Amino acid sequence: MSSYDAIILGAGAAGLMCAAVAGQRGRKVLLIDHADRPGKKILISGGGRCNFTNIHTAPDRFRSANPHFAKSALARYGPEDFLALVERYGIAWHEKTLGQLFCDGSARQIVDMLLEECAKGGVELRLGHPVSEVDHGDGRFRVSCGGSEAVAPALVIATGGPSIPKMGATGFAYDLARRFGLKVVEPRPGLVPLTLGGEDVLFRSLSGVAAEVVASADRIAFREAALFTHRGLSGPAILQISSYWQNGQPIEIDFLPDRASGWLVAEKQQRPRTTLRKLLGSALPDRLAETLAERLGIGAELGNSPDRALAEAERRLSAWTFHPNGTEGFAKAEVTTGGISTAELSSRTMEATRVPGLYAIGEGVDVTGWLGGYNFQWAWASGWAAGQAL
């Protein structure tokens, strides 16, 4: 049996960061993953270019049962810290939009950088074997994996969430946390397309059409592109909203977020011969304009439509209500909302308050970022916080 200062389960974003930090602080670290390669989600992230952080990182861009929990870790390891690391490795990057930083080249550069950082800390990496057993006694954790056993006074749960199971994602973090008596906030697919049924099914014929909208639900709104799909709705605005959407809730879409109140009646006065279809066509993709005009039932020239009907059409265009009947599930979810409850974790070190030596970091914890590099920033920050404490 080999002994270590810390055993980290999961060589993803958070586990690699945590291992590198602890290793470089002189800790003897074993990093275990059942996958044959580390950082698989990093490799496929951001379309292969890894949206590795967001310069607008702030605690309100994360969802958690305790919105204050992420503050400490994010304040101590921010986007500028990760960016400094990226620059030390000479990795070229660019800001795409909304503060999202991507590699110019490939996500592989981020994985290589983290592996190099782990190597500098003498981290031992054990890949390709499932963890068969975890025991705890006398203040030590014993982990059996690939026919050998390792023991350490500290164990870090960094096995992520169950989104995209075909990438090797599992709910192992939750099973392990529960075994140690930690609570788990119901895990749900986040940053995931929504499916439409009922009356809304008619919109499926718009599959492939996208428009910039404001999507809102549960008192939060996102202005980004929405995309109609053959199953329902996707695109950044919808993915963002999906992390806040609850089953049975409607979502609202403002198709014309830049129009001032009363614009349609004003158009009628200025251009009585024009039609709603034409007006919508000047602001929205053609097929969408046609569908919306048809569904609003205003085919006549504006001059022949009562003001009341136009005001009602304007209202519906600014708050079009969809009733999603579900999501595309963990198979398509970029993240998992919910997870190991923060109530029993130290926000400074990520250590379980009632189980000394047990830590949880990354996506397995009930902290979920918005789309746009926030989830990696949480993985880096929580991994760094635990790495400092090990």
Ligand X SMILES: Cc1cc2nc3c(=O)[nH]c(=O)nc-3n(C[C@H](O)[C@H](O)[C@H](O)COP(=O)(O)OP(=O)(O)OC[C@H]3O[C@@H](n4cnc5c(N)ncnc54)[C@H](O)[C@@H]3O)c2cc1C
Number of Cβ within a 10 Å radius of residue 246: 8
Neighbouring residues of 97: CB distance < 8 A, sequence distance ≥ 6: none
Among positions 34, 142, 188, 268, the unique one binding ligand X when judged by CB under 6 A: 34
Q: Quick one: which segment of 162-170, 223-231, 248-256, 307-315 binds ligand X (CB under 6 A)?
A: 162-170
Q: Strand 251-254 vs strand 320-322: parallel, antiparallel, or unpaired?
A: antiparallel
Q: Quick one: which segment of 23-31, 46-54, 60-68, 115-123 binds ligand X (CB under 6 A)?
A: 46-54
160 contributes a contact to ligand X by CB under 6 A: yes
DSSP code for 251: E
How far, rounded to the nearest angstrom, does the alpha carbon of residue 190 sit from its chain's CA centroid? 6
Q: Rounded CA gap, 363 and 375, in Å?
A: 7
Q: Give the x-and-dash track for 50-79 against ligand X (CB under 6 A).
A: xx----------------------------
Shortest Cβ distance from residue 261 to ligand X (Å)?
37
9 contributes a contact to ligand X by CB under 6 A: yes
DSSP three-state, residue 334: coil
Shortest Cβ distance from residue 158 to ligand X (Å)?
5
156 contributes a contact to ligand X by CB under 6 A: no
162 contributes a contact to ligand X by CB under 6 A: no
> DSSP alpha helices (H): ranges in the chain?
13-24, 40-44, 71-76, 79-88, 108-120, 172-179, 236-242, 263-270, 276-283, 286-296, 307-318, 374-389
243 contributes a contact to ligand X by CB under 6 A: no
163 contributes a contact to ligand X by CB under 6 A: yes
229 contributes a contact to ligand X by CB under 6 A: no
Shortest Cβ distance from residue 336 to ligand X (Å)?
8
Q: Which is nearer to ligand X, 157 or 288 (CB)?
A: 157
Q: Strand 194-196 vs strand 51-54: parallel, antiparallel, or unpaired?
A: unpaired
Residues 325-364 that bind ligand X (CB under 6 A): 334-335, 362-364
Among positions 158, 233, 350, 358, the unique one binding ligand X when judged by CB under 6 A: 158
Q: Which two tokens stand for residue 203?
A: 């919109």
Q: Give the x-and-dash track for 111-150 against ligand X (CB under 6 A).
A: -------------------xx-------------------
101 contributes a contact to ligand X by CB under 6 A: no
Among positions 105, 168, 250, 285, the unique one binding ligand X when judged by CB under 6 A: 168
Q: Which is nearer to ligand X, 203 or 378 (CB)?
A: 378
Supply the DSSP string of 98-137, one letter for each residue: TTEEEESS-THHHHHHHHHHHHHTT-EEEES--EEEEEEE
Backbone φ/ψ region at 306: left (φ over 0), alpha (ψ -120 to 50), beta:
beta
Nearest CA among 255, 241, 300 for reference residue 275: 300
Q: Which two tokens stand for residue 15?
A: 């586990």
Question: Interface with ligand X by CB under 6 A: which residues?
Answer: 9-15, 32-35, 40-41, 44-46, 50-51, 130-131, 158-160, 163-164, 168-170, 172, 334-335, 362-364, 373-376, 379
